Amino acid sequence: MNSPEYQSVKTIRLMASRRDDLIRAATLLRDAKLVALPTETVYGLAANGLNDAAIEKIFVAKSRPLTNPLILHVHDADSALALFDIKNDRRALSRFQRLAQQMWPGPLTLVAKKAPHVPLLATAKGLSVAVRIPANGVTRALIKEIGFPLVMPSANLSTRPSPTTADHVLATLDGRIDAVVDDGACDVGIESSVVKIDDDVVRILRPGMIDARMLAACLDEEVEHHTSAPTSDRALSPGLAALHYSPLVASVTVCQSDEVKNYWLKTDTILLRRSDYFSLKNDLGSRSDDAKSILTSDDPRAFARELYEKLYDAERDPHTALVIVIPHDNQEAWSAIVDRLRRAARS
Ligand code: TXA
Ligand code: MG
161 lines ligand 1 (CB under 6 A): no
Tens of pLDDT, residues 151-178: 999 999 999 999 999 999 999 999 999 9
The protein residue with its alpha carbon nearest to ligand 1, atom 6, reads: 44
DSSP string across 267-331 = S-EEEEEHHHHHHHHHHH-PPPTT--EEEE-SSHHHHHHHHHHHHHHHTTSTT-EEEEEPP----
**From CA 73, how far away is CA 53, in angstroms rounded?**
18
198 lines ligand 1 (CB under 6 A): no
Ion ligand 2 neighbours (CB, 5 A) are 154
> Candidates 121, 164, 237, 305: which one to mutate for ligand 1, based on the most atoms within 8 Å of Cβ?
237
Percent of the chain with pLDDT over 90: 85
Half-sphere exposure of 283 (CA within 13 A, CB side): 12
Confidence of residue 7 (pLDDT cuts 50, 70, 90): confident
Please check whether residue 109 is in contact with residue 128, taking contact to mean a CB–CB distance below 8 angstroms.
no
How would you list the strands of the sheet with 321-325, edge to edge? 251-255, 321-325, 269-273, 293-296
* Whole-structure pTM value: 0.94
Confidence of residue 30 (pLDDT cuts 50, 70, 90): very high
Please check whether residue 185 is in contact with residue 16, taking contact to mean a CB–CB distance below 8 angstroms.
no
**Could you tell me the end-to-end alpha-carbon distance of the chain, in angstroms, rounded to an integer?**
19
Atom of ligand 1 nearest to the CA of 134: 7
**Least confident interval from 5-9, 63-67, 173-177, 307-311:** 5-9
**In the prediction, which pLDDT does 151 show?**
98
DSSP string across 204-225 = EEE--SS-HHHHHHHHTS-EEE
Say whether pLDDT at 246 is over 60.
yes
**Least confident interval from 53-62, 196-205, 218-227:** 218-227
**Least confident interval from 25-29, 108-112, 333-337:** 333-337
Q: How many CB atoms lie within 10 A of CB 288?
A: 10
